[in-house]
Structure 1
Amino acid sequence: MIRSLLLASAAAALALPAAAETIAIVNARIEPVSSAAIPAGTLVIRDGKIAAVGANVPVPAGAKVIDAKGGVVTPGLVAPSSNLGASEIGGVRETRDDGTGNALSAAFDIAYGVNPMSPMIGLARDGGITSSAVTPVLSGSGAGAHVHADDGEVEEMTAGKDGAGDPPLFGGQAAFIRLKAGAPDIVEASKLAVTVSLGQSGARAAGGSRGASLILIRSALEDARAFAARRTAFEQGATRDFGLSRLDLAALIPVVQGKVPLLIRVSRAADIRQALKLAADEKIRIILEGAEEGWMVAPEIAKAGVPVIVDAQADLPDSFETLGSRLDNAARLHAAGVSVAINGSRDFNNLRQERLNAGLAVANGLPYAAALAGVTLIPARIWGQDGKIGSLDVGKQADVVVWNGDPLETTSWPLNVFVAGVEQPQDSRQTQLRDRYASSDQSGYPAAYR
């Protein structure tokens, strides 16, 4: 029974959707995100891209017509930071490819572990998510690792077969994926940022002190600059010793050159100030993730021009570094001029929380337009993908979702999901299990038992 279910899942994952065609979505409230909403309009998709959008757009001859019946059309949602495709079961270390062991830190590239056949991808797509940044976390080396509920990092509980050692300072390199069913490779871009943690997680990686973690990060950046300037001498053994391996130093060169940012996971206001100072002193780009106490230093974040990825649901003082958490964090950051992306749970089963968290932010003062941008255009911009996706502009790739109502309401759901103009199957492992066990024949038994 299990074997047949797995085969059915694999067949569904390998089944390619229909090729891109000309599609006209009519009778819809259209939220382009980059411009004002269109109360009743038409959106045309042709050759995988948005061909026209507006209130009086004619339906092309021969186009497939989808009647939205007053529903809402938005860009596909963009998850700003997740482990989608790189992790399967949180408590089973062997299924987690979102963190490295002792051998690598900055050089770890999460893109190599992305599984396009992950059953979690269909589940995320059924929630309106069409793309995601996939970001690594700090991890230990062995099989006994577990995930911290407070920060999403993986900590070593039992030494693994690759031996004991200090945890890595950097988490590794981020990637960006598009959730197109049946595609053999869903990685759109890789090596987009190097992740690092300050606060409690950074202190653990540095041996217990926040100050030590900052000194080590600064030292690593200094070493990367020296390594970039003297690579030939390094290969000849004619340089001083560096604190990181050749691979890790090479991965940090684009960071110190300002080509890619550091994604800094941080919570406490004091630590956020240290992150901003680090960026200014080292002349590097940064992205903040978490920032539960960001509202306390919002003007400073805005002045630095640093984007922030927040969990709008975070409001509990569940650690000493999140005592200032509050539900209007996103609203206060936005009001100060910060570019705010809204994250759902990093838990791959709960990525649907992203849009619900955006709705929660609206209920706590964030303007609706800013909340919608926070789950579409802003995360696309953070990861350098806004030239292709994130808004319903003519010429962009048609990552489009048709909703039966307001996408930020809990009672709404996607009716149609398009990635690059191709309608995606609404078929996840959950729906397969439902269909397998729900129906029954005259005997009263579902098909799975016959």
Structure 2
Amino acid sequence: MILIINANIYTMAGKNYKNGCILIENNIIKKVSEKIEIKEEYKILDVKGAFVMPGIIDAHCHIGIMEESMGFEGLDLNEATEPITPELRAIDAINPFDESFKRAIKAGITTVMTGPGSANVIGGQFCIIKTNGVCVDDMVVKEPAAIKAAFGENPKRIYKSRKKSPTTRMAIAALLRETLIKCKDYKYKRYKSEKNNEYFQKDLKMESILPVIDKKLPLKVHAHRADDILTAIRIAKEFDIKITLDHCTEAHFIGKYIKESGFPVIVGPSITSKSKIETKNRNNKTAVELNKIGIDFAIMTDHPVVPIEYLPISAGLMVREGLPIEAALKAITINPAKILGIDDKLGSIEEGKEADISIFNGNPMQTLTNTLCTIIGGKIIYNNF
């Protein structure tokens, strides 16, 4: 058992402790309090007033699937040979030995949602994993966790070069609708065959989309421009499915419509150049505007677009633009946990939750701050005391 003492704890659960304690038993947070009696069997971690918070969560990245220092050999991001590929599974491409995982841990990032890129209208299955491990199956928190869908420039550009559909936003939307309709028909035929005890030949693409139709999985929607965000919302309502709105570069233009939709937002990446037309209105104040109108959101890196270790700094830049500190911290802890559906386990320091804890010598959103310790699943994975 590990007992953290003399900690400045930001729980993300409504109550903070200026000088508190956290007791960890196995991989679970056993107790959080101002004082916990020290026992002989406890391993004492005296953090001497350090900044203690839940393990940081990146809600959208491509770590392990778009490896660093590898080139083509480590690039497994997009199967850009046909626009509808829901059957692809990120778990089959993630390399836990990608050097980025070590940097994530060193930055206090303990959980990530990683998966395919945005070349295809439907790109494949994302998964949620811990950042520590050598076998991806042991790192899994939730798999599959979402199906990637993409609107806007990326599918247009990729398939224009291949001289095939989609080359317009109309075709992107049409292909997505067509796939969802096919899946509904497939579901009916599957049900009818099972009811009549008849043989039914399964289709891997349709089997992968079924959880979306059944609202068991969301579409993880790549959408930067305001009109693409609204198209995604339109289609989600039309088919009664769940989505998350990822990137949302122009969300500040249409905050009212996003709030009315009820769909969650994942903002970013923020520390990049405006590399294409649909990102021309990128602005760190987007998060500020969303916060003002009461939209809970997460902040992401889109790693390697922004190196994953700069997730806290990305949040800090939004604070500089007016986002409250507590809101920024929530956007990299409890908010992504809620959006990803893992807040029963992660995202806050509460009794009964998994012991993923990050310890810093100051606020992690400041550039001069260093990580002192990263605890994942109740084990000290990085120690810089």
Q: Same fold (TM over 0.5)?
A: yes
2:73 to 67, 90, 94: 94
Amino acid at match of 1:353: Y
RMSD: 2.3
* Residue of structure 1 in register with 2:168 after alignment: 209
Which sections of structure 2, spanning at least 5 residues, go unmatched? 160-164, 195-201
380-389 or 101-110: bigger deviation:
101-110
Q: Determine if contact 1:87/1:348 at 8 Å carries over to the other structure.
A: no
Q: How does 1:316-355 map to 2 (within 5 A)?
A: 317-347=274-304, 350-355=307-312
Q: What SS is found at the alignment partner of 2:20?
A: strand
Question: Number of paired residues?
Answer: 369
Q: CA contact under 8 A between 1:124 and 1:352: conserved in structure 2?
A: yes
Please tell me the residue identity of whatever aligns with 1:313: S
Instruction: Describe how 1:417-436 pairs up with structure 2 within 5 A.
Output: 417-425=374-382
In structure 2, which of residues 82, 101, 104 is the aligned counterpart of residue 124 of structure 1? 104
Which one has the largest radius of gyration? 1
What is the CA–CA distance in structure 2 between the aligned matches of 1:25 and 1:186, rounded to whole Å?
Answer: 25
Instruction: Assess if the C-alpha contact under 8 Å between 2:68 and 2:98 holds in 1.
Output: no
Q: In 2 relative to 1, CA 138–323 (structure 1 residues): closer, same or farther, beyond 3 Å?
A: closer
Task: Report the Cα distance in structure 2 between the residues aligned to 1:214 and 1:60, rounded to whole angstroms.
Answer: 61
1:314 positional shift: 5.5
Partner in structure 2 of residue 222 of structure 1? 181
Query: 1:334 Cα shift?
Result: 1.8
Q: Deviations over 1:185-204 (max 9, x none)?
A: 32222121111111112333
Quote the Cα distance in structure 2 between the aligned partners of 1:169 and 1:230.
25
1:50 aligns with 2:20: no
Alignment of 1:386-397 (within 5 A): 386-397=343-354
Equivalence map 1:271-286=2 (5 Å): 271-286=228-243
Change (3 A) 1:348 1:208: closer
**Secondary structure, aligned partner of 1:216:** helix
Give the Cα separation in 1 of the matches to 2:96 and 2:115: 16
Q: What secondary structure sits across from 1:230 in the alignment?
A: helix
Q: In the alignment, does 2:123 pair up with 1:171?
A: yes
Give the TM-score of the pair, scaled to structure 2.
0.89
Q: How far did 1:366 drift?
A: 1.4
Alignment check: 8 A CA contact 1:306 1:339 kept: no
Query: Deviation string for 1:34-61 (max 9, x for gaps)?
Result: 1132111111111211111122333344
Deviation at 1:87, TM superposition (A): 2.6
Q: What residue in structure 2 maps to residue 18 of structure 1?
A: none
Cα distance in 2 for partners of 1:336, 1:312 equals 21
Whichever residue aligns with residue 177 of structure 1, its letter is I
User: Is the 1:135–1:175 Cα contact (8 Å) retained in structure 2?
Assistant: yes
| Whole-Å separation in 2 of the counterparts to 1:217 and 1:183 | 34
Percentage identity across paired residues of the two chains: 27
* 1:12-411 correspondence runs (5 A): 22-89=1-68, 92-102=71-81, 105-139=85-119, 168-182=120-134, 185-204=138-157, 205=159, 206-231=165-190, 246-311=203-268, 313=270, 317-347=274-304, 350-411=307-368
CA-to-aligned-CA distance 1:353-372 (integer Å, 9 cap, x gap): 11001111111121211111
Structure 2 letter corresponding to 1:311: G
TM-score normalised per structure 1: 0.77
Q: Which amino acid aligns with 2:104?
A: A
